[in-house]
Amino acid sequence: MDVDAIIKEIKGVTDPARKEALWKTDLRYDSSSEQLEPIYYWILDFMKETSGLKVEKLIDNFAASVGGGFFSELGAKATKMQEEAMKILAQVNAVLKSIINLLYDLKEFETRLQIYDDYKDEKKKDAALLALKQVWMDKVDMQRGRGSINAMAYELNFTTLRDAFMTVKSTEDIKKMDINERVKRVLKPRLAEFFQWLGRSEKELRTRFSLEKNYLRSQVNSLKLYTKWVKPYLKSAEQLRMKEHSLTDPDMVNAFNTIVLELLILGKKEITAPELIGMEFLPKSMYSYKPRRKYYACVIINFKFRGIPSRTPQGHFVFGGKAEITSKAFTMNDDELKIFNKRIQEDEWKDVLKLVQGITDESLEQLSKDVEHFLGKEDDESKEEVGFLGLAPISSGSNKNKDKKSKKEKKKKELELKKIKKDNHEESLIRNGAEVIAVDTCFDIYDKYKDTHGMAGFEGPDFFTDPEWQRSFSSNWK
């Protein structure tokens, strides 16, 4: 996941002048005898408690050398999670198969019931009656064997029997028909039996249709439950999956006992007009101004650790080694953050979805439409949540189709960015103030860490005297 590229993509459209980091600091700390965790947690706690930032973790990757003990430990855990996930996915596939069969049956029932509905319509009654007689002959009367109407007409020389049965509408009409008496004697009980079947079959079919719909609802709910169960295993398996590391990376030597970690966290703080007025970055006349969206001072910190795992007496692993910490300052508004988080989530699940195979976009879309058709709007929630795996479906089409989809997604992303409204004059002033706070916070984290740990520091940015920063602020604000 390239967070810098995502930020540049967003800022390149919404704020081209500030698509690069406003401020950047680098810190390297190397000590094989000390653990890496204190470095991370000191910075994390300082961001939350001292700087007042709301912190989110964006990246948490690791890779271990195949010759080390940590590789085997994590590999065994990942395998266990994958096995549990595959067991539940087998149940998911079974339920999906059941749902497909139910949908097929319901479609057939719906077609049959439509004929009964047409039979009650005077305009369509004659055609519906002929269709129902055909169904009765194929499904019920055919079971008589040579005694069925079709067999008697073709094998026993009752040539007028089939046409007479299809033509007559009631037992009274039989008396008026100009046909052989033998045919009439056969026709009367068959017609009476047909009308008895007509009443019973509709009732039974509607009952069966209702039962099948209820069963479909039950299966959809089961699918929702299974997908809720499988998600944690899929996510855990993905979190335990080691990052594919470059074969040319000199930090990773197969025979060594080495681990490489990468962590990236985002800290953000909402910046308001009253706060900037108190800092003399805005005129007092803007005290009651309410921007169209919130603006945030953001600090992104990237941790790269190269460590040596060692097992404690309690059986856990601890890591000592080299830490490279890079901090960058940015500003974002609500619209930019919304797209930023969306891009992060898309990248986060991109590899997880590879665990679920064999279900295409088209099949999932059609299944969702069919379920909605039979269960109605009351199951919109299930349609959305199940989606049918609660995850975005995977395309299994040709490379040409994938290229088309990729271009379509790229165009969609570009349109999303273009829809973000540009800052008006007042909002640009708030963003300028947020930039100052973002840079000051970014430097403060770096400076305080070095000062607390007895390291040499340097003078930070002076926003009130630096000409480059002063150009961002109007002299008549105060």
Is the model's pLDDT at 383 over the cut of 70? no
Burial class (CB in 10 A: 0-12, 13-18, 19+), 55: middle
Shared-domain flag, residues 341 and 456 = yes
The tokens of 136 are what?
Answer: 């009765």
Which H/E stretch holds residue 163? helix 161-167
Q: Express each pLDDT in 154-210 by its tens digit.
A: 777 777 788 788 888 877 777 777 777 777 888 788 888 888 888 888 888 888 888
User: 263 lies in a domain?
Assistant: yes
Is the model's pLDDT at 257 over the cut of 80? no
β-strands 54-64, 259-271 pairing: antiparallel
In 239-343, DSSP assigns E strands to: 259-271, 295-311, 317-333
Per this entry, what is the length of the chain? 478
Shared-domain flag, residues 204 and 264 = no
What pLDDT was estimated at residue 314? 63
User: 331 lies in a domain?
Assistant: yes
Instruction: Report the C-alpha gap between 357 and 380 in whole angstroms.
Output: 25
- For the chain, what is the mean pLDDT? 75
Q: Express each pLDDT in 102-161 by its tens digit.
A: 888 888 888 888 888 888 888 888 888 888 888 888 888 788 887 788 788 777 777 778
- Out of 167, 193, 219, a domain closes at 219
Is the model's pLDDT at 262 over the cut of 50? yes
Shared-domain flag, residues 267 and 345 = yes
Is the model's pLDDT at 463 over the cut of 70? no
Q: Is residue 457 within 8 Å of 447, Cβ to Cβ? A: yes
Shared-domain flag, residues 261 and 322 = yes
User: 322 lies in a domain?
Assistant: yes
Which is it for the CA torsion 411, 413, 414, 418, positive or negative?
positive
Shared-domain flag, residues 444 and 313 = yes
Shared-domain flag, residues 280 and 407 = yes
Shared-domain flag, residues 172 and 39 = no
Shared-domain flag, residues 313 and 446 = yes
Shared-domain flag, residues 119 and 61 = no
Instruction: Report the C-alpha gap between 265 and 57 in whole angstroms.
Output: 4
The tokens of 81 are what?
Answer: 């999670």
Q: Express each pLDDT in 24-79 by its tens digit.
A: 889 888 877 677 788 889 999 999 999 899 999 887 777 766 555 566 676 777 77
Shared-domain flag, residues 445 and 298 = yes
Q: Is residue 197 within 8 Å of 97, Cβ to Cβ? A: no
User: 326 lies in a domain?
Assistant: yes
User: 288 lies in a domain?
Assistant: yes
Higher pLDDT, 328 or 402: 328
What pLDDT was estimated at residue 47? 93
Q: Is residue 135 within 8 Å of 197, Cβ to Cβ? A: no
Q: Is residue 179 within 8 Å of 162, Cβ to Cβ? A: no
Q: pLDDT grade, residue 292 (50/70/90)?
A: confident
The DSSP-derived string for 61-115 is: EEEE-TTSHHHHHHHHHHHHHHHHHHHHHHHHHHHHHHHHHHHHHHHHHHHHHHH
Tell me what percent of the residues of the chain surpass a pLDDT of 70.
71
Q: Give the structural domain span for 149.
A: 113-219
Q: Which of 442, 472, 396 has its CA nearest to residue 27?
A: 442
Q: Which of 294, 225, 236, 260 has its CA nearest to residue 434?
A: 294
Shared-domain flag, residues 49 and 153 = no
Q: What average pLDDT does this structure show over 416-444?
A: 85
Is the model's pLDDT at 94 over the cut of 80? yes
Q: How many domains does the chain have?
A: 2
What pLDDT was estimated at residue 426? 86
Give the full edge-to-edge strand order of the sheet including 259-271: 23-35, 317-333, 295-311, 259-271, 54-64
Residue type, 78: A
Q: What average pLDDT does this structure show over 218-245?
A: 72
| Phi, psi (deg, nearest 5) at residue 380 | -60, -35
Q: Is residue 310 within 8 Å of 73, Cβ to Cβ? A: no
- Out of 189, 219, 249, a domain closes at 219
The tokens of 299 are what?
Answer: 């600090």
319 bridge partner residues:
309
Shared-domain flag, residues 309 and 443 = yes
Q: Which of 473, 352, 336 has its CA nearest to residue 416?
A: 336
User: 213 lies in a domain?
Assistant: yes
Higher pLDDT, 391 or 416: 416
- Out of 219, 246, 272, a domain closes at 219
User: 202 lies in a domain?
Assistant: yes
User: 278 lies in a domain?
Assistant: yes
